[in-house]
Amino acid sequence: MTDHVSPEHFAATLERLRDLAASRHAGVLELPTIASPDDLQQGIDTLPTSLPSTGWGFGKTSGFLLKEVTSVLAPGHNGTRYFGFVTGGVTPIATIADILTTLYDPNVQVHLPKETLATLIEAHTVNLLCQLLSLPTSRFTGTITTGATASNLLGLACGREATLKKAMARRGFPDWSMAEDGIGADAEDDDEAPAPPPVNVYVATPHASIKKVAGILGIGRKRVIDVGQKAHGSSSDLLENEDIRASMSIVEFDLVHLEVSLRESYYKKQGAIVVVGLGEVNTGALSAQIPAIRAVCDRYEAWLHIDAAFSAFCCLLEGFEWISEHLAMADSICSDGHKQLNVPYDAGLFFIRKKEVGEYRIDSLLEDVCGLGQAGAPAYLATGGPEENLEDIALDIAKRREYAASLPSPLFRNLENSKRFRALPLYATLLSEGRQGIKSMVERNVAFARSLEAWMRSDEGSRLYQVLTPPCEPLAEPESSSTTSPQPAASASTKASPQAWHGPWSTTILLFRPHPLTCPIPSFRSHLTGADACISALKATRAIYVSPTRWCGVGAIRLAVSNWRTGMEDAEGRVVQDVRESRDWEVTVQALKSVMEGEGKDEQEQDDEMVGSG
Ligand SMILES: *Cc1c(COP(=O)(O)O)cnc(C)c1O
């Protein structure tokens, strides 16, 4: 160590950190979305690039972090109007939990219930998440990953293990396992099973991470096969015809094509995985096809993986309970905590169907894929968790103790050995918010996106912008309070059937573009480059942030609402019932209008208005 950090010095630095956290919390509604061009330039020119031989020490380095480093980070990346990607934010309670995670730095690796209960808290967290999603814990188990990409990786790895095992059994090798035997085989060796057949992954407009993990796992990116409806029809002229409803079909599976493909895989004795995106990446569209896809998967022994990274929690909305039923049809499920649940990054969720009771030694394919196999597994892994519904054990002390004693160690059911206590911010959030709190977080996000949609369809907004999804049906007027809560019309009956594109569907994403005919800025009207030009102008306001995408061959703008606080408060910081009374609404609509006036404010004016980042 270069210097001894006295308790007083450490405490004084923590005070500065505390002040920074408090001022960001208090001033979040005015934080600029991204760093200023000058600060970024300064950072590029001056950030240290070489290792000091004598370290700077704690004092200088902490000063550097609090000043130089904070000024080159996007101040409002976890603020209320960063609508790019799906970023989420961090609730105050998740912030506290995350700091505790660092402070204690437990290694959630081996289950040592006589020493620490970090692993038990992780297991409880997974169970609370199952309860939130209404996934029966008697049938599902799971783990917490680094993100949805890692969850997709686990899902495809388990799907590969399961379906290749079946395919190899059909080829006459019932004891073969991908995890155990691997991809290679020596043709000369008579005792050896032959190399395994391919695994085909069937998708419709998937998230890019599916191809990424197919590459990593050796499934092969070319084996990710699009059987979406767009794979056959010409989609690029759909928008030319202004037929936006028809354009939505590109995110749906062509079920006939899927069935033909799965049958072919089956008879060729190959592996097959179907990945359904629940919450399509561009539109947030919720697939209504899962029951039909489950049925086809069952017919041909295929694995069903659902990628519900940002939309799983829409199951909490009235009229959308069916999402839980559909999720429970999956073999494996990916979701994210660092998006809609607003915990810090490093929180992916993975759920997997448990193995049949009695038939197996341990409780899911995770152990087969991530463990050391029959021969290598240490004795303490040789037990499985209790099979009863975990909600039932809460009041029974003996069962609680039995559960705590029999938990498998996390290291053989996930990618990592050593692992951050990333469960704690989730655990804290679930306890602090409860089902109602998380429901209202999702509701407010949906209300903000759908209210913006309504504005873009109004006389004022529709001249400037064109929404690229079919209209959400008019919201039913609720009896009390909020006029914008996302009550789909069909929620009159308690459980609406999934009507993904036709009925009152609603999610947190808004897909749009500058109006190609009537928007006042000529360069924004181009089908190909207009959206990008508009996005640059929107970003330059530093008041809101949105991302580019392509939709049916044209440039489009994607606005994703995912922060717990978006639309919550008015300019005075009072909580509002209607998101349209919020400061975020005012600033967002103003930004969307101002770029159409072609007179973006200059940087200096913006900076004067906004609270600084550091
Ligand atoms: C964000 C996202 C992913 C990737 O998640 P990371 O947490 O960034 O790894 C995968 N699928 C979908 C649908 C997503 O929205």
Whether pLDDT at 487 is above 70: no
Residue nearest to atom 15 of ligand 1 (CA): 309
Which has more confidence, 191 or 42? 42
pLDDT of amino acid 378: 55
280 CA closest ligand 1 atom index = 13
Q: How far is the CA of 512 from the centre of ligand 1 (A)?
A: 21
Question: CB-based contacts of 421: which residues, under 8 Å, 6+ apart?
Answer: 101, 104, 105, 106, 108, 118, 121, 122
- pLDDT tens track for 446-460: 999 999 999 999 999
Q: How far is the CA of 379 from the centre of ligand 1 (A)?
A: 36
- pLDDT tens track for 130-152: 999 999 988 899 999 999 999 99
Residue nearest to atom 10 of ligand 1 (CA): 148
Task: Supply angle C-alpha 282, 284, 290, rounded to 5.
Answer: 115
152 CA closest ligand 1 atom index = 10
pLDDT of amino acid 359: 37
277 CA closest ligand 1 atom index = 13
Q: How far is the CA of 582 from the centre of ligand 1 (A)?
A: 29
279 CA closest ligand 1 atom index = 13
CATH code for residues 75-91+119-182+194-234+244-375+439-473+490-614: 3.40.640.10
Alpha carbon distance, N-terminus to C-terminus of the chain? 28
pLDDT of amino acid 553: 84
Q: How far is the CA of 526 from the centre of ligand 1 (A)?
A: 30
pLDDT of amino acid 600: 40
147 CA closest ligand 1 atom index = 7
| Residue 124: C-alpha distances to residues 155, 394, 457 (Å) | 21, 10, 45
Residue nearest to atom 2 of ligand 1 (CA): 309
Residue 606: Cβ within 10 Å count = 16
Whether pLDDT at 358 is above 50: no
Q: How far is the CA of 547 from the centre of ligand 1 (A)?
A: 15
Whether pLDDT at 503 is above 50: no
H/E segment holding residue 356 = none
pLDDT, mean of residues 26-47: 97
Which residues have CB under 6 Å of ligand 1?
A: 86, 147-149, 207, 209, 277, 279, 281, 307, 309-310, 336, 348
pLDDT of amino acid 331: 97
Whether pLDDT at 93 is above 80: yes
308 CA closest ligand 1 atom index = 13
- pLDDT tens track for 194-247: 899 999 999 998 999 999 999 999 999 999 999 998 754 444 555 655 567 677
Q: How far is the CA of 179 from the centre of ligand 1 (A)?
A: 25
Which residue is it, tokens 């001033």? 27
- Ligand 1 pocket check: which of 149, 251, 332, 511 to mutate, most ligand atoms within 8 Å of Cβ? 149
Residue nearest to atom 12 of ligand 1 (CA): 309
Q: How far is the CA of 85 from the centre of ligand 1 (A)?
A: 9
DSSP conformation letters of 407-463: PPPGGGSSS-SS---THHHHHHHHHHHHHHHHHHHHHHHHHHHHHHHHHHTSHHHHH
Residue nearest to atom 14 of ligand 1 (CA): 309
pLDDT of amino acid 40: 97
281 CA closest ligand 1 atom index = 13
Reported as a pLDDT band with limits 50, 70 and 90, residue 605 is very low
Q: Report the alpha-carbon distance of residue 96 to residue 129 in Å, rounded.
A: 20
Q: Report the alpha-carbon distance of residue 197 to residue 507 in Å, rounded.
A: 39
pLDDT of amino acid 319: 83
Token output for 422: 């990333």
pLDDT of amino acid 481: 41
- Ligand 1 pocket check: which of 207, 549, 558 to mutate, most ligand atoms within 8 Å of Cβ? 207
Whether pLDDT at 497 is above 50: no
pLDDT of amino acid 244: 72
Token output for 43: 């950072």
- pLDDT tens track for 382-423: 444 444 556 666 778 888 888 888 888 899 999 999 999 999
- Ligand 1 pocket check: which of 336, 345, 346 to mutate, most ligand atoms within 8 Å of Cβ? 336
- pLDDT tens track for 580-600: 999 999 999 999 999 999 644
Token output for 271: 């592996």
Q: How far is the CA of 349 from the centre of ligand 1 (A)?
A: 11
Q: pTM of this prediction? A: 0.91
pLDDT, mean of residues 478-491: 41
Q: How far is the CA of 338 from the centre of ligand 1 (A)?
A: 10
Residue 294, by phi and psi: left (phi above 0), alpha (psi -120 to 50) or beta?
Answer: alpha
pLDDT of amino acid 181: 93
pLDDT of amino acid 430: 98
Q: How far is the CA of 484 from the centre of ligand 1 (A)?
A: 28
Q: How far is the CA of 481 from the centre of ligand 1 (A)?
A: 34
Whether pLDDT at 113 is above 50: yes
Token output for 30: 């005015």
pLDDT, mean of residues 31-53: 97
Map out the domains of the chain as residue ranges: 1-30+35-73, 75-91+119-182+194-234+244-375+439-473+490-614
Instruction: For the chain, give the percent of residues with pLDDT over 70.
Output: 84
| Residue 80: C-alpha distances to residues 32, 75, 103, 172 (Å) | 10, 11, 27, 57
Q: How far is the CA of 136 from the centre of ligand 1 (A)?
A: 24
Q: How far is the CA of 291 from the centre of ligand 1 (A)?
A: 23
